[in-house]
Chains A and B, each alone.
Chain A
């Protein structure tokens, strides 16, 4: 994945989390405009970032979210829980897409429907309250059949689409000296995301006489329609001047073609071509009258002819045009003649081929077909064709200079405009006029007014086209960049290195930290080889001095290595808030779903522990909290009936005690009834009758941690997934944690998890078995004893011994590992037995001998070896050999 996308994903996750937190806080103080603004900023940033990538689904949803939050921020839409729900839904979706991008590098097209649905659900919230402003993008699509369409181009332009009355009005306007322009506006597909509203824009075109909207391509099925993609083309007939139109469309110049239309082009009679009398005589008579300049006769004849003809006929339309032309331009013989002649063929005159006689602006028409309007006019010392960027840049400077001069930083503005223009002129090779720009700036600065620069701009670049002033080399820092640079350098003395005030923390890829951790692990092991070396120097080579020196050097390396290890561990430390932060949302959603009222209190979120520990804490904690919500806290009415506050409380607190993190989860729900537990445990066969009677209440309550136990009478989709608290226990024990549960019926439940701060270093005891060495995690070792062979009894093929009055079953490690060699006894015929705890019971493992305990870095089994469940992992020993560490629970 490219780094930019990676950065985007990681920033997005932060934003999403920020959004979640802000929404939670907003629930508590829905009036806070500060929170609202922050929330908006998160969504805004996310959306802005997503625009860099081709992620339409993501952008669509975020855009809707941004619009919604903008409306909320501006007080147009009130904040509501529904709004929060929908926004959270949408952000979950965004999170999902981010995950997908993270794994696949792209999103699946199948999300389109979801994204449309979510974006709609967000937009609905806006539209309800502010029906006019937002949401207009989708409305455009629905409203488009306002103007009927009948495409079939006559000349270059489909002028025949224009209804007769409008054509006539346009013609009338043209004759009276108004300009006529045909506007072809093709908004880009993503225009809605750029804040355009093409429908509105088109409708508000100055001097609009008529407009038409066509779809660029045939409409897809409704289900496949992307309402946020503009596929409409607008055609507009306007009487505004070219300048007015260019000004109006100045933000989308590349999407608009403006074509001057000579008035006569509109004379396109339309109607039923068949039937109706075509009187050759009429045409001949009329032509005669026309050439004789008998206008009154011609008018009369035409009227009479029109009276006897069906008004829907093509003929009638042509006659109506004729009358209009006679009325407006009685001298325009050429046009009248053409209309009359066309009556013979019943086809409209092809005006653009008849160029010469009819309108001088015909050439203009052909011309403007080519360049996309705005920038085609030529200006003298400046290159004829300016790129759209140059045009836009110059237009922007003109706009700036046209602003009122009454600001404090006018001088700055003038200089910066001149600097921009100078750069621009230089870039396009128009160096010749840079000097005059400098003069203009000087004058402007002297007068404290924009006018001289504006004047300069207008004289070098035609207004409405482009333009810009220049910078006097003499004016201080802002002039040409080189000069400015040297001045500044002297002034401030560039000391970037000294003064760099970058962020105080850096983000590091997790993989790198893990790698560092592995390296230090190897380092610790390698370091441990030194004592071996010292031993060999002394014992094998007999050099005691060297041995001593190695030992003292070892002490130094040892100290550094330990410090380094500590430091790296610190880097890996994360606050528990990493896990806690998901609970407000979880509790909120779950309690809503269950119809319960729950208040969540979090404490000690800043408590830190190793990353692995924190991560392993996530699922068990979620499980416990869900359990509390589902089984612990009662429904509000039940609670009231019991005299408790209707709102239940779940309290989660993290603290550090010595080298352990303790997490306490407490609720004030109904607690656990030991009697019910006992009965259920009996039914499920987890305990037998005999044991039942001996069970204390506390022990009974702890049975919920037994495998296969679940007290939920109805399996809910929240916690009763067929796995019970045993999963929690297993997960906690896996990281060497312990767990305690206390419950008081009717008062609530308290669960206490205690975890090591770090699991990077593991203490293991080394044992021998059949000449091999194995490690046993020290946490599971209760004690080591040597038992005389005589004290070992065989009960029903199983060996056992009695230790302090209790029967302890014995298992030879050799046979557990599939080696059929009996355990070796020492000289006194005693067998080495490792007593390990297995849940509540103790088991003795017979080994050949005990060795020392060592600190190791336990590495999990990888690759094909990962399938060997008998081993918890492996570690390197000081002499370079590999130690396999047993997973005691698995082998027993």
Chain B
């Protein structure tokens, strides 16, 4: 079963993603900020990361660049933000995200992108 780590400080968002992803048969873990996400990444393997931008303690950008530069995981990461500007997008891609999506994310959109990044054949 593919494992996905959700990194978001908002419990509602985590619950939202989790319900969609678990419904699609993924195994989901959560972290409330970059620091916790890093701890989990060191201990466990995730096939995909879904990362929020704005979080207390450590934000999504620095989490991703740390993840990449320390070679902890090079698996696909999806960054989800409320900001649609080109700058924010660029920053996300530079820091190590493979996909930048702007909220609100519809369940279909989330699942389609997860399946693509995880290489699952969609009916």
In whole angstroms, how far apart are the Cα atoms of A390 and B122 in the complex? 12
Q: A51 within 8 Å of B by Cβ?
A: yes
User: Of A411, A426, A484, which one neighbours B120 at CB under 8 angstroms?
Assistant: A426
What string of 1s and 0s marks CB contacts (under 8 Å) between A412-438 and chain B? 110111011011111111000000000
Contacts of A492 in B (CB 8 A): 42-45
Q: A478 within 8 Å of B by Cβ?
A: yes
What string of 1s and 0s marks CB contacts (under 8 Å) between B1-35 and chain A? 01000000111110110010000000001000000
Q: B54 within 8 Å of A by Cβ?
A: yes
User: Of B16, B68, B82, B99, which one neighbours A47 at CB under 8 angstroms?
Assistant: B82
Q: Number of residues in B with C-beta < 8 Å to the partner?
A: 57
Which residue of the partner chain B has the closest CB to A415? B74
Which of A149-157, A231-239, A263-271, A397-405 faces chain B? A397-405
Asked if A411 and B93 sit within 8 Å, CB to CB, the answer is: no
Q: A658 within 8 Å of B by Cβ?
A: no
Asked if A44 and B82 sit within 8 Å, CB to CB, the answer is: yes
**Chain B, range 38-67, C-beta contacts under 8 Å to A:** 39-40, 42-45, 47, 54, 56, 65, 67
Asked if B47 and A481 sit within 8 Å, CB to CB, the answer is: yes
In whole angstroms, how far apart are the Cα atoms of A7 and B119 in the complex? 32
Q: A412-B68, A416-B96, A423-B76 are in contact. Are A48 and B13 (CB under 8 A)?
A: yes
Asked if A409 and B119 sit within 8 Å, CB to CB, the answer is: no
Contacts of B119 in A (CB 8 A): 422-427, 480-481
The number of chain A residues touching the other chain, given as a range, is 35 or more
CB distance from B102 to the nearest CB of A (A): 6
Asked if A52 and B13 sit within 8 Å, CB to CB, the answer is: yes
Asked if B43 and A496 sit within 8 Å, CB to CB, the answer is: yes
Contacts of A852 in B (CB 8 A): none
CB distance from A410 to the nearest CB of B (A): 9
Asked if A484 and B45 sit within 8 Å, CB to CB, the answer is: yes
CB distance from A431 to the nearest CB of B (A): 10
What string of 1s and 0s marks CB contacts (under 8 Å) between B58-88 and chain A? 0000000101110101111100001111100
Q: A411-B71, A427-B116 are in contact. Are A416 and B98 (CB under 8 A)?
A: yes
Which residue of the partner chain A has the closest CB to B36? A501
Which residue of the partner chain B has the closest CB to A14? B11
Q: A407 within 8 Å of B by Cβ?
A: yes
Residue among A49, A392, A411, A427 with most chain B CB within 10 A: A427
Which residue of the partner chain B has the closest CB to A390? B116
Q: A195-B83, A196-B84, A412-B71 are in contact. Are A420 and B10 (CB under 8 A)?
A: no
Q: A3 within 8 Å of B by Cβ?
A: yes
Which residue of the partner chain A has the closest CB to B101? A392
Asked if A485 and B93 sit within 8 Å, CB to CB, the answer is: no
Which residue of the partner chain B has the closest CB to A434? B119
**Chain A, range 602-639, C-beta contacts under 8 Å to B:** none
Q: A48-B10, A400-B93, A416-B98 are in contact. Are A393 and B117 (CB under 8 A)?
A: yes
Asked if A423 and B117 sit within 8 Å, CB to CB, the answer is: yes
In whole angstroms, how far apart are the Cα atoms of A427 and B115 in the complex? 7
Q: A11-B10, A44-B54 are in contact. Are A195 and B99 (CB under 8 A)?
A: no
CB distance from B110 to the nearest CB of A (A): 10
In whole angstroms, how far apart are the Cα atoms of A200 and B103 in the complex? 21
Contacts of A416 in B (CB 8 A): 68, 74-77, 96, 98
Which residue of the partner chain A has the closest CB to B99? A396
Q: A4 within 8 Å of B by Cβ?
A: yes
Q: A566 within 8 Å of B by Cβ?
A: no
In whole angstroms, how far apart are the Cα atoms of A680 and B71 in the complex? 81
Contacts of B39 in A (CB 8 A): 501
Q: A890 within 8 Å of B by Cβ?
A: no
User: Of B9, B67, B76, which one neighbours A420 at CB under 8 angstroms?
Assistant: B76
User: Of A7, A387, A427, which one neighbours B121 at CB under 8 angstroms?
Assistant: A427
Asked if B93 and A48 sit within 8 Å, CB to CB, the answer is: no
Which residue of the partner chain B has the closest CB to A429? B121
Contacts of B44 in A (CB 8 A): 492, 494, 496, 499
In whole angstroms, how far apart are the Cα atoms of A577 and B108 in the complex? 43
Which residue of the partner chain B has the closest CB to A12? B12
Contacts of A194 in B (CB 8 A): 84, 102
CB distance from B18 to the nearest CB of A (A): 10
CB distance from B32 to the nearest CB of A (A): 8
In whole angstroms, how far apart are the Cα atoms of A396 and B83 in the complex? 16
**Chain A, range 478-497, C-beta contacts under 8 Å to B:** 478, 480-481, 484-485, 488-489, 492, 494-496
Q: A219 within 8 Å of B by Cβ?
A: no
Contacts of A417 in B (CB 8 A): 98
Contacts of B69 in A (CB 8 A): 407-409, 412
Contacts of B71 in A (CB 8 A): 409, 411-412, 477
User: Of B16, B100, B112, which one neighbours A389 at CB under 8 angstroms?
Assistant: B112
In whole angstroms, how far apart are the Cα atoms of A577 and B37 in the complex? 32
Which residue of the partner chain A has the closest CB to B67? A412
CB distance from A492 to the nearest CB of B (A): 6
CB distance from B75 to the nearest CB of A (A): 6
Which residue of the partner chain A has the closest CB to B121? A427
Q: A7-B12, A41-B56, A416-B96 are in contact. Are A485 and B47 (CB under 8 A)?
A: yes
Asked if A477 and B73 sit within 8 Å, CB to CB, the answer is: yes
Q: A400-B93, A419-B74 are in contact. Are A393 and B103 (CB under 8 A)?
A: no
In whole angstroms, how far apart are the Cα atoms of A671 and B71 in the complex? 70
User: Of B40, B96, B98, which one neighbours A409 at CB under 8 angstroms?
Assistant: B96
Q: A251 within 8 Å of B by Cβ?
A: yes
In whole angstroms, how far apart are the Cα atoms of A429 and B73 in the complex? 25
Q: A8 within 8 Å of B by Cβ?
A: yes
Asked if A481 and B12 sit within 8 Å, CB to CB, the answer is: no
Asked if B82 and A48 sit within 8 Å, CB to CB, the answer is: yes
In whole angstroms, how far apart are the Cα atoms of A419 and B84 in the complex? 25
In whole angstroms, how far apart are the Cα atoms of A665 and B103 in the complex? 48
What string of 1s and 0s marks CB contacts (under 8 Å) between A244-256 and chain B? 0000000100000
Contacts of B98 in A (CB 8 A): 393, 396-397, 400, 416-417, 419-420
Asked if A409 and B12 sit within 8 Å, CB to CB, the answer is: no
Q: A45 within 8 Å of B by Cβ?
A: yes
Contacts of A387 in B (CB 8 A): 112
In whole angstroms, how far apart are the Cα atoms of A697 and B120 in the complex? 84
Which residue of the partner chain A has the closest CB to B113? A389
User: Of B12, B54, B67, B100, which one neighbours A52 at CB under 8 angstroms?
Assistant: B12
Q: A389-B112, A393-B116, A488-B45 are in contact. Are A251 and B67 (CB under 8 A)?
A: no
Asked if A403 and B45 sit within 8 Å, CB to CB, the answer is: no
In whole angstroms, how far apart are the Cα atoms of A52 and B13 in the complex? 8
User: Of A7, A408, A411, which one neighbours B15 at CB under 8 angstroms?
Assistant: A7
CB distance from B109 to the nearest CB of A (A): 7
Contacts of A499 in B (CB 8 A): 43-44
11 A-B pairs with C-beta separation under 8 A: A49-B10, A51-B104, A393-B113, A396-B100, A397-B98, A399-B93, A400-B93, A416-B74, A420-B99, A427-B121, A478-B73
Given A389-B112, A409-B68, A501-B39: 14 more A-B contacts, CB < 8 Å: A47-B82, A48-B13, A195-B83, A400-B93, A400-B94, A412-B74, A416-B76, A419-B76, A423-B118, A426-B120, A427-B118, A477-B73, A481-B47, A484-B75
- Residues on A close to B: CB < 8 A? 3-4, 7-8, 11, 38, 41, 44-45, 47-49, 51-52, 66, 194-196, 251, 387, 389-390, 392-393, 396-397, 399-400, 403, 407-409, 411-413, 415-417, 419-420, 422-429, 477-478, 480-481, 484-485, 488-489, 492, 494-496, 499, 501
